Chain A
Amino acid sequence: MLIPTSETDAAYIVRDALSQGKRLAACGGGTRAGFGNGVEAAELFSSRGLSGIVDYDPAEMVMTARAGTPLAEIEAALAQNRQMLAFEPMDHRGIMGVRAVPAGEPTIGGVFAANVSGPRRFVAGAARDSLLGVRFVNGRGEVIKAGGRVMKNVTGLDLVKLLAGSFGTLGFLTEVTFKVLPVPQAVETLVISGLSDEAAAKAMATALSLPVEVSGAAHLPYTVRHCFIDGRLPEGEATVLRLEGLAPSVEVRAGKLAAVMEAFGPVSRLAGEDSRILWQEIRDVVPYADGTQKPLWRVSVAPSAGHQLVAALRLEAGIDAFYDWQGGLIWMRMEAEPEAELLRRYIRALGGGHATLVRASDPVRAQTAAFEPQPDAVALLSARVKQKLDPAGIFSPGRMVDR
């Protein structure tokens, strides 16, 4: 594994690889290495040697860190100042099991390279929405700066968004600058019990149409409910709605929301620590952190289409699923085959979206396109964009669109 300890080193490694026709697979701590398509023979190229917070003034709500900085270090520094990453990046180690080889720690660069977001994403934006600036080494071995460290910036093309979620296929991130937010003073979760998937979708849509600022909306069907907070959720399916903010305000909003939700089913409340743990477990997909290699899909569709997709697939395949993002994010574990074609056909039929194979055994991964195949014109355009950043195709060939 190549582990540069400076940006200059990183640029040198890329130029060296370029001249020798070598290929590089960028990574951080390697905890998400099981993502995406298999990469053709390439040497691991880790940012873990580029570590440390470069600049953090809590009053500006902005932090700059080297890409290989452990996420835990970032979150600890933020917590000291009662701040947080608004997009709640999930920790993939649970669902990936022992795949992480060589076992490392999640890094902030990895979070942005994979655009990892959690439950708050559907109202507060994805990792890419918090990312203000990056420094990276492109496929020519040049150090490129994009964006900056201010919250509003429309100066030139937004390469920051392009690099976010590109899984190291467009450049090797060396430094990231991102927005942070204050930790809400109080958090409370309303639990509506016993709803079918369809009724839950209606309840969540109703909740989001109210002026109560719901910041988490998930539906945990019967098969997964017991996996959360040591089984302490009330009996039956659990539709959970999170409220955050100043304590008196959360109290008022919870009352208003409960009054409306009672029409859907019995409502109970989850306060403080239980609420925090619940959302962390939803974020980290604990029901499927099961030590298996059963295919696990992360599906993003319009919120109202989520339960329809699951219902349709259930008739034809063995699946287990739960919902986040008001029903638009579906975590789906397959009992046997990945059923990629079936799944993707239904997604198209229900108005579009995408399915990413997050986990599967190696033979299954080798035969399944991990990312949603793109229409020809978009695939062609994406390939041209990749070519402009990595003309020789040395970064993780095959991982994303260029298979």
Chain B
Amino acid sequence: MSQAIEFLVPRESVLSRRAAIIADLADLLPPECLVHEPRGLAPFETDAFISYRRVPLAVALPRTTTQVAAVLKYCNRYDIPVVPRGAGTSLSGGAIPQEDAVVLCLSKMTRILEVDYANRAATLQAGVTNLSISEAVGIDGFFYAPDPSSQLACTIGGNIGMNSGGAHCLKYGVTTNNLLGVKLVLIDGTVIDLGGKHLDAAGYDLLGLVCGSEGQLGVVTEATVRLIAKPEGVRPVLFGFETCEEAGACVTDIIAAGIIPVAIEFMDKAAIEICEAFAKAGYPLDVGALLIVEVEGSEAEMDAMLASIVEIAGRHGVKTVRQCQSATEAALIWKGRKSAFGATGRIADYICMDGTVPLGKLSYVLNRTSEIVESFGLRVANVFHAGDGNMHPLILFNANDPIEAANAEAAGNEILKLCVEAGGCLTGEHGVGIEKRDLMRYQYSQADLAQQMEVRAAFDEKWLLNPSKVFPLDGRA
């Protein structure tokens, strides 16, 4: 297990009062809403960034906003760190606790409070899972657009914390573009409402600031999100190219032609082989890169868009074009892509990077990524959202080999620096968490970071909310 990333030193003043704190929390919460036995705490010691683990002091599982407020007020009063948590699917360690922290897990708040089609809005408790929103409104012809890969498990509260994206945000935007309002509990227990079913903020856009703040500004207990009418039809098409350069150039030309598909997914040769071996999706194995381009709308619209896209792909020497004739075929095309992480996990351990680069730099960054990973003696598979430049190189390694593990982490850091140098950013949708915290200086100057930290302090002066995350531990005010 790698231990390169440091956490804040646990506060002795908290650890020494553990029993008293648990007793106090027991006064604030019903018995089934508090976990403090070692066996009960184990599931909360990490998230989907599993190389790091810390056992928290206790886990609060409130059922109401009032209970959330009571726990926060108490922790604020006694200077106890709080780590908010949804389903624990963060890929950047955003929900990993620390020994002196109370985990505030919203997973019991799972009610859909209101669905309002006239205003195309749904109001949900924070623990409602992403997919269940679309499931609840699908029968009436609506959906909720952001669709992170973990959508079966991840919660809307977590999505707001990380400003999650997904494969379809090329057209519909990420969480922040689909969020209308939140109920937010501040560290002192104050409950405020930001936004609602109306659009735009009355004053400063605090809603925009809270979205993606990784649990550092407050705890969201309810959210109002935008619903969209489901398109009439959806059709993915598979394109196989000889080289990644051709595929990359094709992506740029599709966008330049004024066509915005709902998704453009990219897989390189390594990823194609891994996914095909697992999913048997019928991906061509004689190509160097695959694009899955999905369009939606009426039959007429899809026909028109696909004709243009196929023509553009032809100009870039496309070898394979697979249009699907049925829903089964469409599902098969996506099955390979969607199982990419799971399929990769079968053959090796991996870490998944999340940098975003300008579209014009895709090919360059892909090539450099391979060179970097090979220079560390490792393999890489690339599968990512090409339409918006959000790359996901998977660095394959053996977690039982400490040298390989360290090399994988080092290669990952090099790749992220490369993304920043190419005019991009460290993280497009997974968040900074602990994983990219110490790389923040590559993207921001000290003044930039200091300004962010000061704004953070306007919400949480004592740095109690998720304190080991996002900002480098040294140089904090």
Given A154-B162, A302-B198, A325-B199: A148 touches B424 (CB 8 Å cut-off): yes
Least CB distance, A136 to chain B, in whole angstroms: 9
Is B231 a contact partner of A211 (Cβ separation < 8 A)? yes
Is A151 a contact partner of B356 (Cβ separation < 8 A)? yes
B456 within 8 A of A: yes
A232 within 8 A of B: no
Given A302-B196, A378-B194: A155 touches B426 (CB 8 Å cut-off): yes
A387 within 8 A of B: yes
Interface centre among B204, B231, B260 (most CB of A within 10 A): B204
Is A378 a contact partner of B390 (Cβ separation < 8 A)? no
B291 within 8 A of A: no
B360 within 8 A of A: yes
Given A155-B427, A157-B213: A371 touches B301 (CB 8 Å cut-off): no
Is B298 a contact partner of A253 (Cβ separation < 8 A)? yes
B36 within 8 A of A: no
Is B118 a contact partner of A300 (Cβ separation < 8 A)? no
Report how far A301 CA is from B195 CA in the complex, Å.
Answer: 10
Is B304 a contact partner of A154 (Cβ separation < 8 A)? no
Is B200 a contact partner of A159 (Cβ separation < 8 A)? no
Docked complex: A157-172 residues within 8 A CB-CB of B: 157-162, 164-166, 170
Least CB distance, B440 to chain A, in whole angstroms: 7
B229 within 8 A of A: yes
Least CB distance, B154 to chain A, in whole angstroms: 14
Report how far A382 CA is from B141 CA in the complex, Å.
Answer: 38
Q: Which of A58, A208, A351, A400 contacts B229 (CB 8 A)?
A: A208
Is A300 a contact partner of B200 (Cβ separation < 8 A)? yes
> A157-B456, A161-B205, A378-B192 known; 5 other A-B pairs, CB under 8 Å?
A59-B256, A157-B455, A209-B229, A253-B298, A388-B451
> Within 8 Å CB of B455, what residues of A?
157, 159, 162, 385, 388-389
B120 within 8 A of A: yes
Question: Which 6 residue pairs of A and B lie closest in terms of their CB atoms, listed nearest first?
Answer: A161-B208, A182-B258, A249-B301, A354-B202, A302-B197, A152-B428
Smallest CB gap from B163: residue in A: A154
9 inter-chain pairs at a CB distance below 8 angstroms, sorted by A residue, are A58-B256, A59-B359, A128-B208, A158-B211, A158-B212, A161-B205, A213-B229, A374-B202, A400-B204
A122 within 8 A of B: yes
Q: Which of A148, A152, A248, A303 contacts B429 (CB 8 A)?
A: A152
Docked complex: A186-232 residues within 8 A CB-CB of B: 201, 205, 208-213
Report how far A160 CA is from B360 CA in the complex, Å.
Answer: 23
> Within 8 Å CB of B428, what residues of A?
150, 152-154
Least CB distance, A236 to chain B, in whole angstroms: 24
> Within 8 Å CB of B304, what residues of A?
246, 248-249
Is A385 a contact partner of B458 (Cβ separation < 8 A)? yes
Smallest CB gap from A83: residue in B: B258
Q: Which of B173, B199, B426, B448 contacts A145 (CB 8 A)?
A: B448
B305 within 8 A of A: yes
> Within 8 Å CB of B42, what residues of A?
none
Q: Which of B117, B432, B436 contacts A209 (CB 8 A)?
A: B117
Given A155-B426, A155-B427, A183-B258: A138 touches B451 (CB 8 Å cut-off): yes
Report how far A159 CA is from B211 CA in the complex, Å.
Answer: 11
Report how far A160 CA is from B204 CA in the complex, Å.
Answer: 11
> Within 8 Å CB of A150, what residues of B?
356-358, 388-390, 423-425, 428
Q: Which of B116, B388, B436 contacts A151 (CB 8 A)?
A: B388
Is A154 a contact partner of B430 (Cβ separation < 8 A)? yes
Is A400 a contact partner of B203 (Cβ separation < 8 A)? yes
Q: Which of A60, A170, A213, A246 contacts B305 (CB 8 A)?
A: A246
Contact bitstring A39-50, B, C-beta under 8 A = 1, else 0: 000000000000
Is A382 a contact partner of B203 (Cβ separation < 8 A)? yes
Contact bitstring B107-132, A, C-beta under 8 A = 1, else 0: 00000000011111100000000000
Is A164 a contact partner of B208 (Cβ separation < 8 A)? yes
Least CB distance, A282 to chain B, in whole angstroms: 16
Docked complex: A324-343 residues within 8 A CB-CB of B: 325, 328-329
Interface centre among B193, B201, B305, B388 (most CB of A within 10 A): B201
B383 within 8 A of A: no
Is A371 a contact partner of B203 (Cβ separation < 8 A)? yes
> Within 8 Å CB of A387, what residues of B?
458
Smallest CB gap from A329: residue in B: B199
Least CB distance, A68 to chain B, in whole angstroms: 22
Residues in B lying within 8 Å of A, measured CB to CB: 116-121, 140-142, 162-163, 165, 169, 173-174, 176-177, 186, 190, 192-194, 196-209, 211-213, 216, 229-232, 252-253, 255-260, 297-301, 303-305, 356-360, 385, 388-390, 423-432, 436, 440, 443-445, 447-449, 451-452, 454-459, 470-471
> Within 8 Å CB of B118, what residues of A?
201, 205, 303-304
> Within 8 Å CB of A281, what residues of B?
none
Docked complex: A364-400 residues within 8 A CB-CB of B: 371-372, 374-375, 377-379, 381-382, 384-389, 400
Is B203 a contact partner of A401 (Cβ separation < 8 A)? yes
Given A304-B119, A328-B198, A351-B196: A155 touches B203 (CB 8 Å cut-off): no
Is B432 a contact partner of A60 (Cβ separation < 8 A)? no
Smallest CB gap from B190: residue in A: A377
> Within 8 Å CB of B445, what residues of A?
145
Q: Which of B142, B209, B301 contacts A252 (CB 8 A)?
A: B301
Is A59 a contact partner of B252 (Cβ separation < 8 A)? yes
Is B206 a contact partner of A385 (Cβ separation < 8 A)? yes
A22 within 8 A of B: no
Smallest CB gap from A164: residue in B: B205
A77 within 8 A of B: no
A57 within 8 A of B: yes
Q: Which of B196, B209, B305 contacts A353 (CB 8 A)?
A: B196
A97 within 8 A of B: no
> Within 8 Å CB of A400, what residues of B?
203-204
Is B427 a contact partner of A381 (Cβ separation < 8 A)? no
Least CB distance, A347 to chain B, in whole angstroms: 9
Is A62 a contact partner of B358 (Cβ separation < 8 A)? yes
Report how far A381 CA is from B204 CA in the complex, Å.
Answer: 10
Smallest CB gap from B357: residue in A: A150
> Within 8 Å CB of B424, what residues of A?
148, 150
Is B451 a contact partner of A142 (Cβ separation < 8 A)? yes
A94 within 8 A of B: no
Given A128-B205, A210-B229, A211-B232: A142 touches B447 (CB 8 Å cut-off): yes
Is A249 a contact partner of B163 (Cβ separation < 8 A)? no
Least CB distance, A66 to chain B, in whole angstroms: 18
A270 within 8 A of B: no
> Within 8 Å CB of B454, what residues of A?
388-389
> Within 8 Å CB of B436, what residues of A?
155
A23 within 8 A of B: no
A129 within 8 A of B: yes
A2 within 8 A of B: no
> Within 8 Å CB of B212, what residues of A?
154, 157-158
